[in-house]
Amino acid sequence: MKPSENAMLINNSMLIAPNHNVLSAWTGHVPFAAWLMQMQKPRIFVELGTHLGMSYFAFCQSAVEGKINTRCYAVDTWEGDDHAGFYNDRVFLDISSYNEQHFAGFSRLIRQRFDDAANEFSDGTIDLLHIDGFHTYEAVSHDFNTWKHKLSDRAVVIFHDINVRDAGFGVWRFWDEITQQYPNFQFDHYHGLGVLLVGPKQNEAMQALCNSSEDQSHFIRSLYSKLGEVPSLRYQLSQAAERIYHLESQISQLTAETVHLKEVTMNEVNRIRHEEDTRIQSIRNSTSWKLTAPLRKLIDLLKR
Ligand SMILES: C[S@@+](CC[C@H](N)C(=O)[O-])C[C@H]1O[C@@H](n2cnc3c(N)ncnc32)[C@H](O)[C@@H]1O
């Protein structure tokens, strides 16, 4: 690989540490999302299927870190589907507030069905489209065909789950077909991610990726597959740190309780001791004790 091509396929942005602390089947593609945002610099990025925001916020965070001038849109009903499972409103409320807090300036969540949301975009405007909705062959081909007219002349479309062949998933089949028509690149890890260059005017980095030789492709795939483990390891680390913090606070609470119990016990022992001393003293001072003193002496003598 020539050094210039190398620089095009590898850069610092891949080492992004996602701040939005969730895990999903997409986590392993975070480093590539960062690279793609950095190299493709989409003026408009749209994601179809956002759920917890794993992929979407990775793109948004990469845009901030790479100072990319972009507008990002996440489309979802935030109700779920037969593949992702169905979930309650808490998910939407949480990611809305995260979006508001971190990316309000350039990112919008559109809570609609994909078909309805398409009306919000003018034809030929979307530079980067991520399709990760319902995963049957029919759904994914429908989504692609519905949004195709919205794509710009330098558009890239990415598809998640191109490597899943059970549970009614059919993205792989659509991917097999569509890759006959456009230059593309395929990652196999984390259920597979397909990169399709739909617009005819692609920049050098996108062309380098999709024109890479077999050796280069192998290198890129194994690099991203290894890098893809980092976000999940970070997540596990942060969970372990949280658990340690929780256990440490439990230990200090138990230590404080033990000190307190020791104090209470010592006070009780002292109180009983004091009561006993007082009782013994009062017996010794009593008249009957004094009158029976000669008798006790006699008993002592007899014992000896
Ligand atoms: C696999 S999840 C998305 C995962 C996400 N990209 C991530 O990073 O983990 C698919 C989502 O697509 C949404 N969805 C499926 N079909 C839809 C449709 N036709 N319109 C709107 N949302 C849809 C579901 O509600 C679900 O949240």
pLDDT at 15: 66
Q: Show Cβ contacts of residue 156 under 8 Å, excluding neighbours closer than 6 positions.
A: 36, 40, 42, 127, 128, 129, 195, 196, 197, 198, 199, 202, 206
pLDDT confidence bin for 22, thresholds 50/70/90: confident
Where does residue 94 rank: exposed (0-12), middle (13-18), buried (19+ CB within 10 A)? middle
C-beta 80 within 6 A of ligand 1: yes
Percent of the chain whose predicted confidence (pLDDT) is above 70: 94
Indicate which residue's Cα is closest to atom 14 of ligand 1: 133
Q: What single letter denotes the amino acid at residue 230?
A: V
Q: What single letter denotes the amino acid at residue 261?
A: L
pLDDT confidence bin for 238, thresholds 50/70/90: confident
pLDDT confidence bin for 11, thresholds 50/70/90: low
C-beta 54 within 6 A of ligand 1: yes
- Return the ligand 1 atom nearest residue 58 CA: 8
List the one residue out of 126, 149, 158 whose CA is nearest residue 44: 126
| Cα 147 to ligand 1 centre (Å) | 15
What are the φ and ψ backbone dihedral angles of 19, each rounded to 5 degrees? Answer: -80, -30
User: Please, what is the average pLDDT of the chain?
Assistant: 92
CB 194 within 8 A of CB 163: no
Q: What is the pTM of this model?
A: 0.82
Where does residue 271 rank: exposed (0-12), middle (13-18), buried (19+ CB within 10 A)? exposed
Q: Which CATH superfamily is domain 3-227 in?
A: Vaccinia Virus protein VP39 (3.40.50.150)
Average pLDDT rounded to a whole number, residues 207-224: 94
C-beta 161 within 6 A of ligand 1: no
| Cα 53 to ligand 1 centre (Å) | 10
Tokens of 279: 């009782």
| Whole-Å CA distances, 93 to 98, 102, 204 | 9, 14, 40
Where does residue 32 rank: exposed (0-12), middle (13-18), buried (19+ CB within 10 A)? buried
pLDDT at 20: 78
pLDDT at 5: 55
Tokens of 137: 């062959």
C-beta 84 within 6 A of ligand 1: yes
pLDDT confidence bin for 165, thresholds 50/70/90: very high
pLDDT confidence bin for 139, thresholds 50/70/90: very high
Name 6's bridge partners.
none
* Distance of alpha carbon 211 from the chain centroid: 32
C-beta 133 within 6 A of ligand 1: yes
C-beta 76 within 6 A of ligand 1: yes
Residue by residue, what is the 3-state secondary structure of the chain? CCHHHHHHHCCHHHHCCCCCCCCCCCHHHHHHHHHHHHHHCCCEEEEECCCCCHHHHHHHHHHHHCCCCCEEEEEECCCEECCCEECCCHHHHHHHHHHHHHHCCCEEEEECCHHHHHHHCCCCCEEEEEECCCCCHHHHHHHHHHHHHHEEEEEEEEEECCCCCCCCCCHHHHHHHHCCCCCEEEECCCCCEEEEECCCCCCHHHHHHHCCCHHHHHHHHHHHHHHCHHHHHHHHHHHHHHHHHHHHHHHHHHHHHHHHHHHHHHHHHHHHHHHHHHHHHHHHCCHHHHHCHHHHHHHHHHHC
